[in-house]
Chain A
Amino acid sequence: MTGWAFIAPALILLGLFMIYPIVWSLWMSFQVGKGMNLSFGGFANILRLTKDAVFIRALGNTFTFFIFQVPIMIVLALLFAVALNDATLKFRGFFRTAIFLPCATSLIAYSTVFKSMFAIDGVVNQTLMELHLITAPISWLGDPFWAKVLIIMAITWRWTGYNMIFYLAAMQNIDRSIYEAARIDGVPAWARFRYLTIPMLKPVILFTTVISTIGTLQLFDEVYNFSAGSGGPSDSTLTLSLYIYNLTFKFMPSFGYSATVSWVIVVLVGILSFLQFLVARDRRTS
């Protein structure tokens, strides 16, 4: 009974402001029509989804972002956290603040800076040219491939410090004496990281992985700002969230269809989280 008492306030609020709207949107996903002229359409929206080339493109892009971005960011965040958790490191406070800064920097400021740095005559291309790494400037924002790379770099830049916070906080919960003992026993640093830090951080690593997965699947801010809302060039940065936004606010309002696309994200996350839990469980048993 006590268990329920602790979670009751959250459950009541979730029921009202989450479950109810979600059930409503599930019902909406069976409705077809323009704006307010809605009628029951059965599975028409799901059928439409399977034939929707733009949706398939958005799905593919979203997956690309997820597969490349999440692992890079998680590993980077972990490494930073380990480095900054070392009490003998000088200027820790400065480094910690610096690496946290990107997620506090306003989206407006950072998307403007990124766009100007990666403009065709921007500082990045100039540097690469001077170093003779490239012979012609890269069209970071105009080329479908490089636009994706840019987005991956941008979100990694923005969210690595954010994830680092969770690891740093979790590391404070690890008993220092275990490390001391290991160090005295001559266990090398990488082994302490692999066999002490990682296992102890596992719940939080799992947490950040799930959160980053969801964050990337819902990726919106960067792609909206970098492409003036279009998901371009050539839909190369169109994500599911941006597509949902367009379906809801930009295109002929078909709320039922955009609700259907939203549900696809839920199903995907369900599958992905399930896989992640399975992997985590396998490791534990082996």
Chain B
Amino acid sequence: MNRIASRRGRVLALALAGVSFLSVAAASAGEISVWVWDKAFNGDTMREAGALYTADHPDVTFNVDDTASQDDIRAKLQTQLLAGSTEGLPDIVLIQDDIAQKYLQSFPGAFEPLSDSIDMSLFAQYKVAAATLDGKSYSVPFDSGVTGLFYRSDFLQEAGFTAADLKDITWDRLIEIGKVVKEKTGKPLLDLDLNDTGVIRMMMQSAGEWYFNADGSLHITDNAALKKAIETYAKLYQNDLVKPVSGWAEYTGAFTSGEVAVVPVGVWITATIKANADQSGKWGVASIPRLDMEGAVNASNQGGSSWFVLSSSDNKEETIDFLKTVWAGNDDFYQDILIKRGAVGSLLSARNGEAFKASDEFFGGAPVWQEFSTWLSQVPSVDYGTFTAEVDAAVQAQMPGIIAGGDIDAALQAINDQAQQQMQ
């Protein structure tokens, strides 16, 4: 009996010893910690930026944590900010532009204003606007979500279309092209996920509109661009041009394995597409189609994110100096991350660098980065507001009805009502 008891005691003591030595890892002075969500893209990009800074400032090191997904980072950050506990928060966190205002407004004082120390006019203005509150900007813009129409040039050629046929077209024209492609090659035009409003949002933004008015009130039932976008979206389905998918794996799987002809998406998808080296030369990029209406342009945005500094940071001075030196001052760094990671940064002066002018064999030798730069300068600036996620959910709720041919005005009214109720 004693033997058993003592053995159990020993196991317990051992176990507890194993647990207690892992106490809080105090952020060592001079170490800048960063939360990012994709190793290959923003993780390695930030590591490279850090290495550049450490080379000149050997006392400053970097700890880039890329082990959590974006959803998880939001959950962690939000729990901690709600708990009012800054312990263990990083110095820098990456936040997607369309939710920046939500964080800035619900957690006043949690983020450090950067516009006093860093010249924001150096960056693409629509990115700066997304993180500006009461005249102060809180972020250093990172990647742009400027959109393009990625397409399989081989499929389109088979259907009798050239690059010129896709240049600066409308969505209605793309639907016509899609019908021919489907007929000639049997491939659906594109793959869409009913649980994702991305395409509708990029259509809407191409006409300079968003879900909200300037005063933050809902802009749904009187939003001609949104209505047109939803109509176009429904038309894609009704003409049987869509391969329905569910979730990211299936979504990317469909176009990387050659099941669809085009992908309207943010430029950050480039690495995913280029990961399939055997498809080199079979892809092209055209400007994103515009809505067939007054004021719409062949440029839009999807996603994209920026660096935010937590006010709780112990290394604020070094952190801001780092962002200023590398992210707001080193054009060569931007060439490097473009070539290595396919990251299109938002620093305007970097656009004149060599890498941005280079052509890409994967895309048939076209100067794609130059084109993305051009489109980037044309992206209409919109105010993402604080309730985009709520309205997205309301739009998603109407999707199956809309593609089945439901009345769009009624759907808009329903979206409006649900969003209104949720915005409290």
Contact = CB atoms under 8 A, between A and B. Distances in A.
Q: Do A and B touch, yes or no (CB under 8 Å, in the complex)? A: yes
A57 B387 CA distance: 20
B230 to A, nearest CB: 14
**Which size bracket describes the interface of A in this complex?**
35 or more
Interface in B193-222: 193-196
B400 A233 contact: yes
Contacts of B421: 51-54
A208 interface: no
B108 A230 contact: no
B390 interface: yes
Contact of A115 (B102, B247, B400): B247
Contacts of A234: 194, 396-401
Interface stretch (A72-80, A92-100, A139-147): A139-147
Nearest to B249: A112
Contact of B250 (A119, A235, A249): A119
Contacts of A52: 421-422
A115 B389 contact: no
Interface stretch (B40-48, B73-81, B269-277, B344-352): B73-81
Contacts of A51: 421
Given A253-B78, A253-B82, A255-B82, A228 B422 contact: no
A254 interface: yes
A35 B396 contact: no
B84 A143 contact: no
A141 B105 contact: no
A37 B396 contact: no
A39 interface: no
A127 to B, nearest CB: 19
Contact of A228 (B82, B106, B248, B400): B248
A281 interface: no
Interface in A111-139: 112, 115-116, 119-120, 139
B246 A142 contact: yes
A22 interface: no
A51 B418 CA distance: 10
Query: For chain B, what secondary structure do more than half of its interface residues adopt (helix, strand, loop), or is it mixed?
Result: helix
Contacts of B243: 120
Query: For chain A, what secondary structure do more than half of its interface residues adopt (helix, strand, loop), or is it mixed?
Result: loop
Interface in B49-80: 71, 74-75, 78
B386 interface: yes
A112 B418 CA distance: 31
A257 interface: yes
Interface residues of B, number: 41
Nearest to A118: B246
Interface string A241-274: 0000010111111110100000000000000000
A52 B249 CA distance: 33
A249 B418 contact: no
Contacts of A139: 244
Given A48-B424, A53-B418, A252 B82 contact: no
Nearest to A38: B82
A115 B399 contact: no
Given A34-B106, A35-B105, A119 B418 contact: no
A231 to B, nearest CB: 8
Contacts of A254: 424
A229 B108 contact: no
B400 A142 contact: yes
B134 to A, nearest CB: 15
Q: Which of B75, B244, B398 has the most CB of A within 10 A?
A: B244
Interface string B378-398: 000000001101100100111
Contacts of A252: 102, 106, 386-387, 389-390, 423
A249 B78 contact: yes
30 contacts: A34-B106, A51-B421, A52-B422, A53-B417, A112-B249, A116-B250, A119-B246, A139-B244, A141-B246, A143-B400, A144-B400, A225-B247, A226-B246, A228-B193, A228-B196, A230-B195, A230-B196, A233-B194, A234-B398, A234-B400, A234-B401, A249-B71, A249-B78, A251-B389, A251-B390, A252-B102, A252-B423, A253-B78, A253-B106, A255-B82
Given A228-B195, A232-B397, 5 more contacts: A54-B397, A120-B243, A228-B246, A228-B247, A253-B102
Interface of A: 32, 34-37, 48, 51-54, 112, 115-116, 119-120, 139, 141-144, 225-230, 232-235, 246, 248-255, 257
